[in-house]
Structure 1
Amino acid sequence: MNYLVTIWDAGGSVPPELALVRKLTERGHRVVVLAGPPLQRAVEAAGATFRPWQDVPHRRRPEDEDPFSDTRLSAPQRIVGMLLDRVIAGPSAAYSREVGAALDEYGSDALVSSMLMLGGMVAAEARGVPVGVMVPNCYLMPARGMPPFGTPWRPARTPLGRTRDALIHGMTTRMWDRGLARLNTTRADLGLPPLTHVFDQHSRAARVLVMTSPAFDFPAELPDNVRYVGPQLDDPVWVDPVEPPPGDQPLVLVGMSSTFMDQADLLRRVVAALDALPVRGLVTTGPEIDPAEVPGSSRVRVVRAAPHREILPSCAAVVSHGGHGTVIKAAAAGVPQLVIPLGRDQPNNAARIVAAGTGLRLKPTAKPAAIAAALHRLLDEPSFTQRARHLAGRITADAHSTTALTELEGLAHPAGDHTRT
């Protein structure tokens, strides 16, 4: 079968999305990936054909300024506005043209799209090409029973809590719908009826693939086309093997983000906390932070990157910002976690860790003493490790399932049959 996959350079969402690409190519399918040039090596390592974006916003070189950076945007409405202007609505016509041209050129049987690239989904819908939407985290769209995006809340259990969640969901939907007119113009240009809400475009997809474990996510009433397909645990291609500091003291792995979230000061506070404990630390700064900005010590090694999936089985605890990729890998390894959210979906992931009893959460302003105290609890109280190991079995089983492939192969017409329905 022929698949067209669209990906944007959004840090932690890239490895799980490319994991699906790799699995498709290993099954013998032809996969073309539309992505920015900095992702070319990773795309080709997954066995796919790389096709660069031309007109839609993207980084042409790794050192270029990230057009999707939200570091300086503290207010939620400003972050939503940036995503509407640069990914979802503003360039939706450009996405539609580029994705449509690629679908026609390659005779694609299905489009597999990153969740925010709605303009490309419009092009596929207009051609009758089935669409699979990749959601490389927990399900965070408004849904009955699901806490609102960006909050550290657990599912509401009282009428007051449910009313609160409904109000926040409504406010969030109205913020996203500021891009509705622009998206509907793109749809109208291709002869498609208007949507009522921006993310109703997901409802037009054949499948929405949630790339986590239902054992980790909160239960909710989800749309009929949503499927949990298990976490995709591949590490990025740009990581190299590293050795942790020598010794037999417990090893703590630290990772804050593969994108810039102004995390250098927090990393320095975590290093100070590790230095106050009888542990070894391996701190990964990510590609956007120079390790020289975060001095280590004899027991704390600071590197730009490391293969987290390989190191985690040897770890006694993990400290992270709460990005889904780091959190779900640590959960699959059965390692207790200290989560210090910096934004985006990270408070949601922290809430799931705390609710499962597998870790703790601190504010990003936490001092070294507070970080050290939380780590001491994780290492000293066996209940955290016991619960983490129990949850790990269920997450690992989902990670090893073939559900994602089954769903994607169910989307596409057999190769050579390009009948549009």
Structure 2
Amino acid sequence: MARIAFICPPYAAHVASFRALGEELARRGHEPFFLLNAGATASTGAIPVHHVPRRPGDPPVAEVLHRGERPGGILSTLRIVADSAAMTDQLCAGGVEQLRLLGAEAVIGDQMEPAGYLLARALGLPFCGLACAVPIDEAPGVPLPFLDWPWQPGEEAKLRRTAQIGDLLSAKQGKVIAAWAARFGLPPHRRLQDCLGQVQVAQMIPALDFPRPEPLPFVPVGPLRRPEELEDRPLPFAVPADRPLVFATMGTMLGGDLRVWRSLASACGKAGAALVIAHGGRLTEAQAASLDVHHAAAFLPYRAVMRRAALVITHGGSNTSLDALACGVPLLVRPVGFDQPGNYARIRHHYLGLKLEKLSRPRAIAAQIRRVLGDEGMWARCQAVARALAGSGGTAQAADVVETLL
């Protein structure tokens, strides 16, 4: 049995996937623990959390998370990249001593946090990479994850130029990676893609991804979820018998935007559908009560709601998109940032949903809702992806991969 360190960005969705894997590994007798940035708080259940120390000049993690929830234009992107570089620098600076003190025998690191790979290499520990979001592994015709471009076979020169632009935007993080690789006595490393490791696990599966050459650089296992998240629990509202149920969640990014919810409420009313929303705790009780929806709550059992839904409306986060498709439900997607455009591009590629119309056009959104509800071909494709996800192995398969390293 092994002491296994989890190193990931302190975003709730990433931590949730690691927690599911950690609980499965704990059931098998291993001792997983999180090593996170100073001040990071996370819902990790019984899995212990340890932190590296904060240094003078390090940005407070709360401010980093706040900025990360509001991706926008180029300046916002550069700020988020700078924050990510600072978080990586902090983990590398304090991680070696902490991992030694904690007796780490292996490291599982998020693809988006290169510190996990660098620390594992520095200490000579087995390493497994985990792609909670759209995998950043490069492949012919596959655009960068933060782009909503289609699969582009034969456009390698264009994609290389785009990747070079991406490297320029992430130059600050590249400098941190290069500096710590040199300090740890490793060969030159300059990019996130240099820190993926030989063994990787991904929530993305081929039935949802763009085409990639075999063998895949990662083991596709589908959603990493805790058993209780998959249970068919009672709902805190009655499912209408006379109208299709539409479930909408925008994560923490847009959960407090009343304009979003009012537009969707109007559209669902025009489409004859019942709207249920999960706002992530971003609305007050008075604000939630002011919405003309079937039910509004901060949080809901996603899978249980989605099993009864005819449509899911989302920002396109990886976890929400995977959960909806695991239930065979099509999507309307309003991507904002990070890998959400990449998720939407794959949903469009496989014809599993549509891009949400502008919020200022609730009648057009209503037309989209009616179109999706009546599209038998789209429904059949979503059901096929659900079957593929059900057979992908999930958390147990991911734990099997980790155990091959030990």
TM over 0.5: yes
Q: Could you tell me which of 114, 118, 121 is aligned with 1:118?
A: 114
Give the SS at the match of 1:276.
helix
Question: Are 1:217 and 2:209 an aligned pair?
Answer: yes
In the TM superposition, what is the alpha-carbon distance from 1:152 to its structure 2 partner?
1.9
Aligned to 1:312: 306
Match of 2:333 in 1: 339
Q: Secondary structure at the match of 2:336?
A: coil
Check if 1:382 corresponds to 2:389.
no
In 2: Cα distance, 1:271 partner to 1:312 partner: 18
| Partner in structure 2 of residue 28 of structure 1 | 29
Deviation, structure 1 residue 353: 1.6
Which amino acid letter does the alignment assign opposite residue 20 of structure 1?
L
> Would you say the 8 A contact 1:259–1:288 is kept in 2?
no
Helix, strand or coil: the match of 1:174? helix
Counterpart-to-counterpart distance in 2, 1:93 and 1:345: 23
Distance 2:299 2:236 in 1: 11
Could you tell me which amino acid in structure 2 is paired with residue 85 of structure 1? Answer: A
Residues in 1 aligned to 2:335 and 2:228: alpha-carbon distance in whole angstroms: 21
Distance 1:186 1:268 in 2: 48
* RMSD, aligned α-carbons: 2.9
- Residue 272 of structure 1 and its aligned partner are, at CA, apart by 1.5
Cα separation, 2, equivalents of 1:140 and 1:261? 27
The alignment status of 1:199 with 2:192, answered yes or no, reads yes
2:65 and 2:82 map into 1 onto residues whose CA distance is: 11
Distance (Å, rounded) in 2 between the aligned partners of 1:300 and 1:53 = 45
Q: CA deviation at 1:69?
A: 1.8
Counterparts of 1:6-405 in structure 2, within 5 Å, are: 6-35=7-36, 39-40=41-42, 42-43=43-44, 45=45, 47-55=46-54, 64-67=62-65, 69-70=67-68, 73-76=71-74, 78-79=76-77, 81-88=78-85, 90-157=86-153, 159=154, 161-195=155-189, 197-203=190-196, 205-221=197-213, 225-234=217-226, 242-248=235-241, 249-259=243-253, 263-290=257-284, 292-295=286-289, 299-365=293-359, 367-400=361-394, 402-405=396-399
- Amino acid in the other structure paired with 1:384: M
Aligned partners of 2:192, 2:215: CA distance in 1, in Å? 12
The amino acid across from 2:312 in the alignment is V
Note if contact 2:11-2:65 (Cα within 8 Å) is conserved in structure 1: no
User: Do the aligned partners of residues 226 and 391 (structure 1) sit closer, same or farther apart at CA in structure 2, a change above 3 Å counting?
Assistant: closer
Structure 2 Cα separation of the partners of residues 259 and 58 of structure 1: 20
Q: Is the 8 A contact 1:291 1:302 kept in 2?
A: no
Cα distance change, pair 349–5 in 1 and its aligned pair in 2 (3 A)? same
Q: Aligned equivalents of 1:66 and 1:293: distance in 2?
A: 27
Separation in 2, partners of 1:272, 1:290? 20
Taking the aligned partners of 1:55 and 1:222, their CA distance within structure 2 comes to 42
SS in 2 for 1:402: helix
Q: Give unmatched runs, 5+ long, in structure 1.
A: 413-421
Query: CA contact under 8 A between 1:282 and 1:300: conserved in structure 2?
Result: yes
Q: Runs of 5+ in structure 2 lacking a partner?
A: none
Return the TM-score normalized by structure 2. Answer: 0.87
1:104 CA drift (Å): 0.6
State the distance in 1 between where 2:172 and 2:322 align: 33
Question: CA separation in 2, counterparts of 1:175 and 1:257?
Answer: 25
TM-score (norm 1): 0.84
- 1:307–1:66: structure 2 CA closer, same or farther, 3 Å change rule? farther
Check the 8 A contact 1:5/1:33 in 2, yes or no.
Answer: yes
Identity %: 21
The alpha carbon displacement at 1:316 in A equals: 1.0
Amino acid at match of 2:348: V
Report the alpha carbon displacement of residue 232 of structure 1 after superposing the two structures with TM. Answer: 1.4
> After alignment, is 374-383 or 263-272 more displaced?
263-272
Contact 2:329/2:383 (8 A) holds in 1:
yes
Pair 1:320–1:278, CA change in 2 (3 A): same
> Closer, same or farther in 2 for the Cα pair 1:339/1:307, shift >3 Å?
same
The count of corresponding residues between Structure 1 and Structure 2 is 398
- Does the C-alpha gap of structure 1 residues 246 and 183 become closer, same or farther in structure 2, counting only changes over 3 Å? closer
Deviations 1:85-120 (A, max 9, x none): 2223x3444212332122211221111122232234
When residues 230 and 299 of structure 1 are mapped into structure 2, their CA distance, relative to the original with a 3 A threshold, is closer
Distance (Å, rounded) in 1 between the aligned partners of 2:214 and 2:317 = 22
Q: In 2, are the aligned partners of 1:100 and 1:120 still within 8 Å (CA)?
A: no
Contact 1:71 1:262 survives alignment (8 Å): no
Whole-angstrom distance in 2 between the partners of 1:318 and 1:224: 29
Comparing 348-357 with 112-121, greater Cα deviation is found at: 112-121
1:222 is displaced (CA, Å) by: 8.0
Q: Structure 1's 108 and 122: CA in aligned 2 closer, same or farther, altered over 3 A?
A: same
CA distance in 1, matches of 2:318, 2:152: 22
